[in-house]
A and B are shown apart, each in its own frame.
Chain A
Amino acid sequence: MLYREAGQFKSTYTADQQIFPIRQDRVAVFALLAVAYVVVPLIANEYWLSAILVPFLIFALAAIGLNLLTGYAGQLSLGTAAFMAVGAFAAYNFMLRVPGMPVLVAFVLAGVCAALVGILFGLPSLRIKGFYLAVATLAAQFFIVWALTKFGWFSNYSSSGVINAQKIEILGYTFDQPLPKYLLTLTIVAVLALAAKNMVRSAIGRAWMAVRDMDVAAEVIGFPMLRTKLTAFAVSSFYCGIAGALYAFCYLGTVEPEGFNLDLSFRILFMIILGGVGSILGSFLGAAFIVLFPIFLNTVAGPIEHALGVSLPPGIMSNLELMIFGALIILFLIVEPHGLARMWQIAKEKLRLWPFPH
């Protein structure tokens, strides 16, 4: 009843091809944006903005990047964090070395740099597939972090490669408070997410999916393999690069190459697996889950300890957290291998009839 598309007739091609063809979806997206832009700034405090919402948005962006590559183009990558590192360091260097560089242009150029590096490390994908490729992308992960640490030029010769992100100034307004930073991140992420949503249903996205489903067949019916795979790497790395730049400029402020380690790559991979491989919405859901879960665990741990009358040392607590996290991932994969996005899909099916039985 609530989610019923019956009666929504399309009489023009433009209407038929719009990005959210169902009215309820459009309403939901506008409502979400309204909440994010109006309600959240009114009610959220500084902690929520800078410790939860901003990282959530940034990780969601990185997850979209990885999802475009892994979920849509079918190329498993374990080097996401390295491409984020390229973005962060490129943005820093553009701001540092080009006088009067507008920060948004620096972000875009950082994304372009990451895309170029992505193309370079994507070249092997033309020859190798599957887990061989996954391990090969680890080469990107280790090499990039090593290069950023080793060559002082990237971090302006600071000790152990730590960089301090410059102030963000757009049209004379300085983004130094959590709220403006949140709004800036939100705007960038929203624009890029909509672009991604559009991309995956256009020619390029269809080419990716054809390659994902069977690359030989895709090649036979005329999709250029070279261009399709490399654009997937380029676009994915572009998203990750922007996410990395935001990570440095809007979230942490101070980053070092070691911060973009394999663990971060895995975290982003978890986001898309738990959220849903091959789903833009899933990237957001997965990012929310991974960001919120440790906080949730810490919040419930206190009362449980109190109720049991024991207090666990922090070492044990963090190990328990690791175990619960691992077990939860396995459980998730067993119960719903298609992720949270699939659950949302099932919920929509239910809402179509609800509250009537047929």
Chain B
Amino acid sequence: MAFFFEVLIGGLLSGVMYSLVALGFVLIYKASGVFNFAQGAMVFFAALTFIGLQQDFGINFWVAFVLALGVMILLGLATEKFVLRPLVNQPQITLFMATIGLTFFIEGLAQLLGGANVRGLDIGIQDEPIEAITKATGMNISRFDLVAAGIAALLVVSLALFFNRTRIGRALRAVADDHQAALAVGIPLHQIWGIVWAVAGFVALVAGMLWGARNGVQFALTFVALKALPVLILGGFESVPGAILGGLIIGASEKLAEVYLGPYVGGGIEGWFPYVLALLFLLVRPEGLFGEKHIDRV
């Protein structure tokens, strides 16, 4: 039984990491209705920027963090200005395609600047089991996973506060609700979109640092976006809590399935199991856990 719980908790904690990436998707989708496929590339780009600043230029950790954040904000603003603004009022699929183009662009740029080698990123947290927990319960729980979960929780709480308690946050929600109505009451739409992309850049930076510290900063980091997609449809595109809960469900069930179901079919099912799970779930609830119910009118 201890083994079951170990797998479950490990899955839940890795699910938090998926949530972090999914969060970036949700933010942008909520505010601008754009399904931003480039989020994975942004995670990769952010991690590579940070590591380049820290290791190649020997800049202090926090200064490098702030500088990388600045770069991500610039990237977000540039995206808003050069990609989204000319595409206002286009159908959603066009915007989606534009973000795929953006993905290629950012991936090329990131590798051009940072090289294609795998680079280790040390953010000062060991990825080893905590002895106290091992002694008490016999389960191996990584300190890194716990810290990552803590950071994710902090991020979600601060984002929730930002959305609910600040003036900008209210404006963001107004824009998410109805573009035209928001414009009519004098909310600067482009400015808001710029802010959303900047915040998504910030989330990408945090996700990139955590994922980079875990797996090394490499091109494969862009694939975490593919892990976040089932999380997204399970939780609902418009919901921050959905992203968190979806991440937990996907993380836990993926690990459990790999351990208990994997041996029967030859293993390696982690790649598609989350998708099939999310798909089956959607058959029951087509808008995900917390997504907005759409009412079709003829």
Contact in complex: A216, B265 (CB < 8 Å) = no
Residues of chain A with a CB closer than 8 A to B105's CB: 322-323, 326-327, 330
Known pairs A136-B279, A319-B108 / 13 extra A-B pairs, C-beta < 8 Å = A135-B230, A143-B272, A216-B296, A269-B97, A277-B93, A319-B111, A321-B108, A322-B105, A323-B112, A326-B102, A329-B97, A330-B83, A334-B86
Instruction: State which residues 147-198 of B face A: CB under 8 Å.
Output: none
Q: A76-B93, A329-B100, A333-B101 are in contact. Are A135 and B233 (CB under 8 A)?
A: yes
Instruction: State which residues 212-266 of B face A: CB under 8 Å.
Output: 226, 229-230, 232-233, 237, 265-266
| Cα-based distance from A338 to B109 in the complex (angstroms) | 27
Stretch at the interface among A21-29, A121-129, A178-186, A294-302: A121-129
Q: How many residues of chain B get a CB closer than 8 Å to chain A's CBs?
A: 50
Contact in complex: B286, A127 (CB < 8 Å) = yes
Q: Does A41 contact B (CB under 8 A)?
A: no
Contact in complex: A214, B271 (CB < 8 Å) = no
Residues of chain A with a CB closer than 8 A to B87's CB: 333-334, 337
30 contacts between A and B (CB under 8 A): A70-B93, A127-B286, A131-B92, A131-B233, A131-B237, A134-B96, A135-B230, A135-B275, A136-B278, A142-B275, A143-B275, A146-B269, A217-B298, A315-B115, A319-B112, A322-B104, A323-B105, A324-B108, A325-B104, A326-B101, A326-B107, A327-B101, A328-B101, A329-B97, A329-B100, A329-B104, A330-B101, A330-B102, A330-B105, A333-B101
Q: Does B132 contact A (CB under 8 A)?
A: no
Residue of chain B at shortest CB distance from A143: B272
Q: Does A316 contact B (CB under 8 A)?
A: yes
| Cα-based distance from A220 to B297 in the complex (angstroms) | 11
| Cα-based distance from A142 to B265 in the complex (angstroms) | 15
| Cα-based distance from A315 to B113 in the complex (angstroms) | 11
Q: Does B283 contact A (CB under 8 A)?
A: yes
Q: Does A130 contact B (CB under 8 A)?
A: yes
B97 contact from A151, A214, A333, Cβ within 8 A: A333
Contact in complex: A322, B108 (CB < 8 Å) = yes
Instruction: State which residues 88-121 of B face A: CB under 8 Å.
Output: 90, 92-94, 96-98, 100-109, 111-112, 115-116
Residues of chain B with a CB closer than 8 A to A124's CB: 279, 282-283
B90 contact from A214, A220, A329, A337, Cβ within 8 A: A337
Residue of chain A at shortest CB distance from B236: A132
Q: Does B11 contact A (CB under 8 A)?
A: no
| Cα-based distance from A334 to B35 in the complex (angstroms) | 17
| Cα-based distance from A60 to B137 in the complex (angstroms) | 59
Chain A nearest CB from B41 CB (Å) reads 9
Q: Does B201 contact A (CB under 8 A)?
A: no
Residues of chain B with a CB closer than 8 A to A316's CB: 112
Contact in complex: B275, A136 (CB < 8 Å) = yes
Contact in complex: B298, A214 (CB < 8 Å) = yes
B108 contact from A131, A214, A270, A320, Cβ within 8 A: A320
Chain A nearest CB from B242 CB (Å) reads 12
Residues of chain A with a CB closer than 8 A to B98's CB: 329-330, 333-334
**Residue with the greatest number of chain A CB neighbours at <10 A, chosen from B94, B101, B106, B111:** B101
Chain A nearest CB from B1 CB (Å) reads 30
Q: Does B66 contact A (CB under 8 A)?
A: no
Residues of chain B with a CB closer than 8 A to A142's CB: 271-272, 275
| Cα-based distance from A322 to B113 in the complex (angstroms) | 13
Residue of chain A at shortest CB distance from B267: A150
Q: Does B287 contact A (CB under 8 A)?
A: yes
Contact in complex: B275, A138 (CB < 8 Å) = yes
**Residue with the greatest number of chain A CB neighbours at <10 A, chosen from B98, B226, B278:** B98
Q: Does A20 contact B (CB under 8 A)?
A: no
Q: Does A19 contact B (CB under 8 A)?
A: no
Contact in complex: B102, A135 (CB < 8 Å) = no
Q: Does A266 contact B (CB under 8 A)?
A: yes
Chain B nearest CB from A192 CB (Å) reads 25
